[in-house]
Structure 1
Amino acid sequence: MSEYANKRTRGAFIAAVFAMQGVGIIFAGLVSMIFSALFKAYFEAPIYSKDKILSTQPEGDLLWRLVLMVGAIPAAMTYYWRMKMPETGRYTAIVEGNAKQAAADMARVLDIEIIAEQDKLAEFKAANNYSLWSGEFFERHGRHLIGTMSCWFLLDIAFYSQNLTQKDIYPAMGLIDKDVAMNAIDEVFQTSRAMFVVALFGTFPGYWFTVFFIEKMGRHKIQLIGFFMMSLFMFIIGIKYEYLKEENKNLFALLYGLTFFFANFGPNSTTFVLPAELFPTRVRSTCHALSAAAGKAGAMVSAFGIQYYTLKGETKKIKTAMIILAFTNLLGFFCSFLVTETKGRSLEEISGEDGRESELTATPNDRVSGTRQDSRTEKM
């Protein structure tokens, strides 16, 4: 999407692609709720029993398998549509060096004839023919790569640890029956319902606030605000955990929802957008993949570090973990200064492929004057 979109709408388009994750989360909750409701009706299982746990193990086993298999349908559709999608003109021209094919592909998309200029393309390619592991790459883009990788890593430590308080927050919000034994099907239904409500009112709006405001506020500002607000809310939850859980459940729910909101109207979206814009076409996907891989490393730290530490659900450990996560977000806030704003600039200008100096080596005056586009990059 970053290579298809123009510079005025590129951020919103990339954020919209990522925001479909929020739509997927909503539908995932609906699928689980619908299947578990059907199972409850079919097997005539009561919602709960106060004196014993009801056994519906065979039906519960079938339930989660069916819900999992439903995920194969959108996966197959995605694969089919991606196979039908042409490669971007930027990749075909700059990486493969085939101006004629790039012009043909772009003509299919734009429905107009584009003149292929192989000589100019060869000159352009020769001027930017440095590898990912070269000194020139790290001189021009090394700081950006460290920034995108570290921010995504730190974000995912906190993002995948947000379920630490679920055992207390869902009953506090009245979304799960407290101190009541449930059978497997009831547990799936109530947990799916709780996650659906949180996603609908916390997670989902955050994604689309990013889509609507990213071209007005910029990626960098949204990321800074998101990290800071996540740090603030997690710190408050960690310090006042017993009070919130026992005496102010509404505030507990509000802080929990706002943490999800600012994760998505913040670094969870922008750490996806920025690596798609900061790097040259030749290594854009690779640098994006390295950044995403750093994020999954953060998810592993969350699963085997933070969540393992709080496995028994002790309040003291949850409080400590939330304070640690608050400082993790604060570190992400400061690492965000390793990346730069990309709003309103062409991909070639951002990466320095158009012959201008890159953001890392340009003087402040160059950066100001660089906002003016020549005729070759204006349309990109």
Structure 2
Amino acid sequence: MAFFEYSFSRFTALVENNALQAAKDIGKVMNVPLSTIQEDVEMINTPNTRAALSNTYPFFSREFLRRHGRDLIAASINWLLIDIVFYSLNLFQYHAFRGLMKSKININLYQDAMQIAKYQALIAICATIPGYIVTVYMIDHVGRVKIQAAGFFFMAISLFTIAKVNKGDWGSNQGPGFIILYGLTFFFSNFGPNTTTFIVPAELLPARFRATCHGISGAVGKLGAIIGLIGFILASREQPKGIEASHTLMAMGGVCVLGFFVTYFFTRETMGRSLEENENVDELTGVWFV
């Protein structure tokens, strides 16, 4: 019990930046020699430690915006952009393989669900899951920013190519080449921003703001999912009210290009640094928003 009282008392004293009180608490509970207490006080009074302890600025402050505003905005925008494309592509799967499936007129509801599930499983096994696996293996060798930028870039190339192949209405002109390109889009989504957008905010932002900032980034990403959903509903309507498939695919490719530039110019790399090192860099030196 005394140990917990000591721990709480010392923690409170350190938070209040009261090094003397913290040292006295150590002596009362643990019977620590005076020399050890003196070393502890000297360590707390070093410039770097004082600077770290003095950084008690709140979330809604200019100091937070100065140090971490760029990281938070870049992480949120990247998450927004990938969710616009990723959720649209998932909703597009039925239309993507419609030309290869039996008409709904000749089958019942369960048979229709089964045939689209087969193609979705094919995409997951051949593209989605391998993308995650390659990311896990390569992320500490290549880097978060490079993987994310490359993912956006190759997603854009795949979508632009599909747009050229898929002329006219949704579900037309499908073949092996179309399926391969469509699968590559999912592969580079997961070997890219669909994985790294979860990692970057957790590593860039300091511990006391990490959960809040990660939640904000994720919420902005879900806003992108809503935008993608509404955009897909409008785009997949039958002509002439709907938008041609090629135009929709080109628009999604343009979103990926924007994600590439945001990643390349505004997202910082964290590879090779621990969470403590990232936080020390942010807390002691700061990162100017502009």
Which category describes the TM-score, using the shorter chain as reference length? 0.7 to 0.9
**Structure 1 residue 165: Cα displacement:** 4.2
Matches for 1:105-116 after TM superposition, within 5 Å: none
Letter in 2 for 1:325: M
Aligned pair partner of 2:65 in 138, 142, 166: 138
Question: Counterpart of 2:190?
Answer: 264
Please tell me the residue identity of whatever aligns with 2:254: F
Residue in 1 that maps onto 2:143: 218
Show the 5 A alignment for 1:157-306.
157-163=84-90, 165-171=92-98, 174=100, 176-178=101-103, 181-242=106-167, 249-304=175-230, 306=231
Q: Deviations over 1:37-74 (max 9, x none)?
A: xxxxxxxxxxxxxxxxxxxxxxxxxxxxxxxxxxxxxx
Whole-Å separation in 2 of the counterparts to 1:125 and 1:355: 6
- Whether the 8 Å contact between 1:164 and 1:310 is mirrored in structure 2 is no
Aligned match of 2:269: 341
Q: Partners in 2 of 1:289 and 1:355 — Cα distance?
A: 21
Distance 2:53 2:173 in 1: 66
- C-alpha distance after superposition, 1:234-290 (max 9, x if no partner): 111112213996666111001000000000000000111000000010000100111
Number of the residue aligned with 1:129: 56
Quote the Cα distance in structure 1 between the aligned partners of 2:286 and 2:277. Answer: 7
Cα displacement string for residues 162-210 of structure 1 (whole angstroms, at most 9, x for unaligned residues): 14542443255x5x33565221221222222221111111111101111
Distance 1:245 1:185, change over 3 A: closer
For residues 242 and 310 of structure 1, the distance between their equivalents in structure 2, rounded to whole angstroms, comes to: 14
**In 2, distance between residues paired with 1:354 and 1:341?**
13
Residues 221 and 167 (structure 1), Cα distance of their counterparts in 2 relative to 1, 3 Å cut: same
Residue identity matched to 1:303: L
CA contact (8 A) 1:226 1:266 kept: yes
What does residue 46 of structure 1 align with?
Answer: none
Aligned-residue offset at 1:127: 2.5
Secondary structure of the residue that 2:202 maps to in structure 1? helix
Aligned pairs, how many? 248
Q: Write the letter of the residue equivalent to 1:166.
A: Q
CA contact (8 A) 1:350 1:358 kept: no
Q: Does 1:153 pair with 2:80?
A: yes
What amino acid does structure 2 have at the position aligned with 1:138?
L
Equivalent in the alignment of 1:307: 232
One-letter amino acid matched to 1:350: N
Distance in 2, matches of 1:156 and 1:286, equals 19
Q: Normalising to structure 1: TM-score of the pair?
A: 0.59
Gaps of 5+ in 1: 1-92, 98-116, 362-380
Please state how far the C-alpha of 1:135 moved relative to its aligned partner.
Answer: 0.9
**2:285: which partner in 1?**
357
Residue 347 of structure 1 and its aligned partner are, at CA, apart by 1.8
Aligned in 2, Cα 1:146/1:321: closer, same or farther, shift over 3 Å? same
Q: Is the 8 A contact 1:153 1:295 kept in 2?
A: yes
> Residue 3 of structure 1 corresponds to which residue in structure 2?
none
Which SS does the other structure have where 1:349 is aligned? helix
User: How far apart, CA to CA, are the structure 1 residues paired with 2:256 and 2:227?
Assistant: 14
Distance in 2 (alpha carbons) for counterparts of 1:291 and 1:124: 28
CA distance in structure 2 between the partners assigned to 1:247 and 1:183 by the alignment? 25
Q: Give the conservation status (yes or no) of the 8 Å contact 2:94–2:116.
A: no
For 1:218 and 1:212, how far apart are their aligned partners in 2? 11
Cα distance in 2 for partners of 1:246, 1:303 equals 21
Which blocks of at least 5 consecutive residues in structure 2 are unaligned?
A: 1-10, 16-39
Task: Identify the structure with bigger relative contact order (alpha carbons < 8 Å, sequence gap 6+).
Answer: 2
Return the letter of the residue paired with 2:285: E
TM (normalized to structure 2)?
A: 0.76
